[in-house]
Amino acid sequence: MTVSSAPGKVYLFGEHAVVYGEPAVPCAIERRATVSVEQRDDDRLRVHAEDLSLDGFTVEYSSDADATPDVDASESLVRAGVGYVDAAVSQAREVADAPDAGFDITIESAIPLGAGLGSSAAVTVAGIDAATRELGVELPATELADRAYRAELAVQDGEASRADTFCSATGGAVRVEGDDCRAIEAPDLPIVVGFDGGAGDTGELVAGVRALREEYDFAADTVESIGDVVRRGEDVLAVGDLEELGRLMSFNHGLLEALGVSSRSLDNMVWAARDAGALGAKLTGAGGGGCIVALDPTDETKTALQFTPGCEEAFRAELDTEGVRAEGP
């Protein structure tokens, strides 16, 4: 058996705009998805998933493209649980030139599914790493990130960006602009995450921004303005000015709100964090529900979020400087 883990992430700046070639700055956090892989003697896949903000379940099915998993669960549940795993397995088979390789796969994750913390990217990165190593191939982090991006691109109907998978593969803070991905320096960040227990529909939210951008010139200008915030944020991050960083994060949230991707629960958590003295706060990820990220070196924001209606969980999330890694056997 081969085991790999990969971190989730928060966006300091740039979600949604990154889809249109603007830069984005996500950073890895110390919440991980762990994928265990053991090769079978047939071409079937057996996937057991735990802790994905879903009830645990197990499915088994063949690699036949026309086959569907035989499981007593909704189609959306199955798609959420195994879609990225299928794409990861496809990439691993291609790398190792083993088109008929079958696997028993177990997924455990401390990252809420669909909440803007990069759960799908972490599962995909860890899945490809574990499956390729199980087949005797070890990929460098940059190629692993590219393979994971291709997997997400297939699952998300061509709407994925390289940001999540590159960040999960390499760790730390990264800058992504189109196909250009690179690590950047970042100070220790006093990150606090608030989670409303929900999940936005990434595809629907991305499509909504696209429709606005095509209909209104000022919506396209808003997307470009997010890119300008990111560029300013990079400079601020480099010198470690946390107060200005927080202000820019809050400004970024306002632009995302104008694009219609926030929600009442996210806005409530953002304002609760600001009222508690956070340096800044914004949604992270696609929006529509899920998580916010705030900067606060004190305990005030975490405490305030814990008493905010609609917030199910609040926690600190240290910057994770390590990306994908091999775990024990």
| Residue 329 belongs to a domain | no
CA–CA–CA angle 263, 122, 40 (5° rounding):
135
Please give the average per-residue pLDDT across 105-118, as a whole number: 84
| Residue 328 belongs to a domain | no
| Residue 309 belongs to a domain | yes
What are 319's two structure tokens?
């910057």
Is it the case that residue 312 has pLDDT exceeding 50?
yes
Instruction: Give 109's pLDDT tier (boundaries 50, 70, 90).
Output: confident
Q: Domain of 276?
A: 191-316
Residues 178 and 274 in one domain: no
Residues 79 and 144 in one domain: yes
Report the alpha-carbon distance of residue 115 to residue 53 in Å, rounded: 10
- pLDDT at 113 (0 to 100): 73
What are 95's two structure tokens?
């790398």
Residues 27 and 120 in one domain: yes
Helical axes 202-215 vs 217-239, angle rounded to 10°: 120
Residues 139 and 283 in one domain: no
Q: Which residues, including other chains, have CB under 8 Å from residue 70's CB and lie 6 or more apart?
A: 59, 60, 61
| Residue 323 belongs to a domain | no
Catalytic machinery residues:
164
| Residue 220 belongs to a domain | yes
| Residue 324 belongs to a domain | no
Q: Answer for the pair 292, 99: CB distance below 8 angstroms, yes or no.
A: no
Is it the case that residue 49 has pLDDT exceeding 90?
no
The total number of structural domains that make up the chain: 2
Report the alpha-carbon distance of residue 256 to residue 59 in Å, rounded: 37
Is it the case that residue 71 has pLDDT exceeding 50?
no
- pLDDT at 133 (0 to 100): 94
Q: List, as one string, the DSSP characters of 226-246.
A: HHHHHHHHHHHHHHT-HHHHH
Report the alpha-carbon distance of residue 32 to residue 223 in Å, rounded: 30
Average pLDDT, the chain: 87
Is it the case that residue 295 has pLDDT exceeding 80?
yes
Residues 170 and 222 in one domain: no
Please give the average per-residue pLDDT across 183-202, as a whole number: 89
| Residue 162 belongs to a domain | yes
Domain boundary among 150, 184, 218: 184
- pLDDT at 90 (0 to 100): 92
Domain boundary among 147, 167, 184: 184
Higher pLDDT, residue 17 or 178: 17
Is it the case that residue 15 has pLDDT exceeding 50?
yes
By percentage, how much of the chain surpasses pLDDT 90?
68
Residues 304 and 170 in one domain: no
| Residue 326 belongs to a domain | no
Instruction: Give 46's pLDDT tier (boundaries 50, 70, 90).
Output: confident
Report the alpha-carbon distance of residue 142 to residue 162 in Å, rounded: 11
Instruction: Provide the pairing of β-strand 45-50 with 103-109.
Output: parallel
Higher pLDDT, residue 179 or 160: 179
